[in-house]
Amino acid sequence: MSCSSQHCFRALGRVLFTTLLAVVPGVLEAAPPVRLTDNGTMKFVAAFAGDGSDVLFVELVKPTLFQIMRLKLDDRSVEPLHGNQTDHELDIAVSPDGRYYAFVQCHGTLHGAIEIRDVSQKSVGHVPAGPGFSVYRSLAFAPDNSRLLFTFPENVHRQIFSVSLKGDDRNQLTDTNGINNWPCFSPDGKQIVFASTRDGRYEIYKMQADGTGASRLTNSPTMDLRPQFSPSGLRISFTSNRDGNYEIYVMDSDGSNVRQVTSHPERDDYSVWHPGGKHLLMVSERNGYHDLYLVDAPP
């Protein structure tokens, strides 16, 4: 990206240092989250690019257009990743080493395809649009860049699939009732964490990378969504409305030791780990406006 990782981490560190306070008992939020954007438009599905110097995210830039935007953390500037265009971009994933990214592109309708590109924006792979108006969602790279995960409503129920980075060699990893969504590889590539309604409501599950051995990690009377492995693989962040409002939580990778990270009357969602493992990026609603924020992650 455009700035060196050393410069960007120094700038990010200065911002974070000024906000560190003692942990509030019962809620593992050390200070008000650091606000990274300020236009308040609808945002979702964010990803750190490579060393964490840039953030890619999806934003509603017009009433009828979603675009992938790039936020540079050193100066907080925001620009469209692909310049001016008229096609919807509904999802974004970046490979752990920052060499590749993937997104869902819709040409005029919800009939979307997956585009896989390198950092120079050269096409690497392509997954053609599926039948009907169903859209691929929830993209995630394997740590070694060998596979790309996505979800698609196969025969009514949304299932998890993987393809090569060329977009071929498609494998179905789940085959259950309900919705299987938001898959994420563990850093060693051996496991996948995801959310599913197979037992009646959204809970967090973990399975082997080949789709076998699924086990349930949460048991909430409401909804647990969008799990993300930490860079160490020891923790999982997720969104839950178990307290009556959508907040960010963190648990150990076996489902134990659940800690609430945020506590706000409006929504905190779409958490993603900074590559350093000490902070979480999220989309937060404040006074009806949606922006990207950075919050300290629990140890």
pLDDT of 156: 87
Q: Which amino acid is at 278?
A: K
Beta bridge partners of 206: 193, 215
Q: By residue range, what is the domain housing residue 197?
A: 32-296
CA distance 209 to 215: 13
Whether residue 266 is contained in a domain is answered as yes
Structural domain includes residue 142: yes
The answer to whether the beta carbons of residues 105 and 91 sit under 8 Å apart is: no
Residue 12: its pLDDT value, please?
Answer: 44
> How many structural domains comprise the chain?
1
DSSP count for the chain of H helices, then E strands: 1, 24
pLDDT at 29: 42
In which residue ranges of the chain is pLDDT below 50? 1-29
What CATH number is associated with residue 50?
2.120.10.30
The predicted-structure confidence for 244-291, as pLDDT tens digits, reads as follows: 999 999 999 999 999 999 999 999 999 999 999 999 999 999 999 999
- The pLDDT assigned to 32 comes to 81
Whether residue 245 is contained in a domain is answered as yes
Does residue 94 lie within any of the structural domains? yes
Residue 108 pLDDT:
66
Over the chain, what is the mean pLDDT?
Answer: 89
Is residue 196 a contact partner of residue 225, using CB atoms and an 8 Å limit?
no
Instruction: Let me know if residue 96 belongs to a domain.
Output: yes
Q: What pLDDT does residue 290 have?
A: 97
Side-chain-side CA neighbours of residue 34 (13 Å): 21
SS3 168: coil
